[in-house]
Structure 1
Amino acid sequence: MESISGGRVSSSTINNTPSTADQKVAVVDPISLDFRKAISSVLSRWNGLEMAVQNQWGGRDSTHKAQQLSADIQSWFSQSKAAPRYVEDLENLLHERMILSFNTDIEDGSIEEVAEQLMIVHEEYLHGNH
């Protein structure tokens, strides 16, 4: 499966000298980048998503849809940090995205497993155990 991290840093960002075409250099929060990579790592081990991408169940842009799923998960965790997060809500997000993006209804229990893994990863990052 292709990488779904979406956390690439351009050479102009690394050198701190933006190219003339890209005068804006984004400041990347290393914790956010690490958390994004951790989310991508969990998703890359999910057989259901891997099959959906490899078989292009989401069309030719299946890889992009998997990257978007990763970004959506990070966004879900970062919204209103004071609000509690429930694994059932994350399961619903994963289930909905798999149906809408890949026309795939996964009923093997893996959505619940992936949601639990993502919750654990998030908790580790909240407590600095990454």
Structure 2
Amino acid sequence: MSQQPEAIILFARGTLALLDLWPALTIAVNEQWGGTESSAKKTWLASTLIDEFETRAPLIPTTETSTTPVVDPKSASDPPLDIDEIADLLHQIMSDEFDANLEDGSIDAVASDLVRLWKDVLGPNPLVLVEALEKKAEEVKKSGVKASVGQGGSLSESEGEDDDDDDYEDEDVDMDQAPQLVESQKPKEKEEPIVDDDGFTLVQKKGKR
């Protein structure tokens, strides 16, 4: 259990990385959906998530030889917050602070990633996993987030949801393979004007289509 005293610290680092990997939040901050303090609100969101896990995490009582509280490794199978609780918290914060009602499924994905992160930091190789997340976040920061707002305000992201339980890697979506939603219409043929014998152009009445 030598790695356990750092579980909260590693969870905090991983949480920051996961939020950096969340395209919808990145766009909300860059576009200042939460006003000029959008960046500070993102930091506050991270601290709120970390505090919720830390204050609810079961600890192993201190002893004469160990005066530092240690997170009970059993909570790996029973995290302090479940996916639904995290998703509700994220929905509320995104709505209240960023005026964003996300319906792209990303909130559930982030909630699932946070639960998986908690399990990982209590596992055998937590530092390796967290550093991998941080590396991925740095790569995304350099490449930028590509997304567009579709009908209904939903986000269409170039990076897919994270379904990998081991490395949290995103899948790239080939937008060229997306079905064409609106068929292109051929330009209407221009009708030739009708000229009478005196050289006057006749006005034609438009018929109903």
Taking structure 1 as the reference length, the TM-score comes to 0.72
1:35 maps to: 11
Between the aligned partners of 2:84 and 2:122, the Cα distance in structure 1 is 19
2:19–2:25: 8 Å Cα contact kept in structure 1? yes
Aligned to 1:50: 26
Residue in structure 1 matched with residue 50 of structure 2 by the alignment:
74
Does residue 100 (structure 1) correspond to residue 96 (structure 2)? The answer is yes
Greater strand content: 2
The residue type equivalent to 1:109 in the other structure is: G
Equivalent-residue separation in structure 2 for 1:75 and 1:45 (angstroms) = 20
The 1-side partners of 2:82 and 2:6 are apart by: 25
Unaligned runs of 5+ in 2: 59-78, 127-209
Query: Alignment partner for residue 109 of structure 1, among 94, 105, 108?
Result: 105
After superposition, the C-alpha distances for 1:72-95 in whole angstroms (9 at most, x for unaligned) are: 010111122238421100000011
3-state SS of 1:60 partner: helix
- Residue 129 of structure 1, CA deviation: 3.2
The partner residue of 2:84 within 64, 88, 94 is 88
Structure of higher RCO (CA pairs closer than 8 Å, 6+ residues apart): 1
Compared with structure 1, are the counterparts of its residues 73 and 128 closer, same or farther at alpha carbon in structure 2 (3 Å cutoff)? farther
- C-alpha distance in 1, partners of 2:103/2:45? 18
Compute the RMSD of aligned alpha carbons: 1.7
Task: State TM-score, norm by structure 2.
Answer: 0.46
Q: CA offset at residue 40 of structure 1?
A: 0.7
Partner of 1:129: 125
- Any idea what SS the aligned residue of 2:36 has? coil
Q: Which has the larger radius of gyration?
A: 2
**Alignment length, in residue pairs?**
102
What is the Cα deviation at residue 33 of structure 1? 2.9
What amino acid sits opposite 1:46 in the alignment? Answer: W
Q: 1:119 to 1:33 in 2, by over 3 A?
A: same
> Which one-letter code corresponds to 2:105 in the other structure?
G
Cα deviation code 1:5-40 (max 9, x no counterpart): xxxxxxxxxxxxxxxxxxxxxxxx754332211101
Any conservation in 1 of the 2:8–2:54 contact (CA below 8 Å)? no
Unmatched segments (≥5 aa) in structure 1:
1-28
Q: Which moved more, 1:107-116 or 1:77-86?
A: 77-86
Moved runs in structure 1, 4+ residues, more than 2 A? 29-34, 82-85, 126-129
Aligned to 1:59: 35
Percentage identity across paired residues of the two chains:
29
Residues 33-87 of structure 1: per-residue CA shift (max 9 Å, x gap): 3221110100101111001000000000100000000000101111222384211
* Structure 2 residue identity aligned to 1:86: D
Query: Which has more helix, going by share of residues?
Result: 1
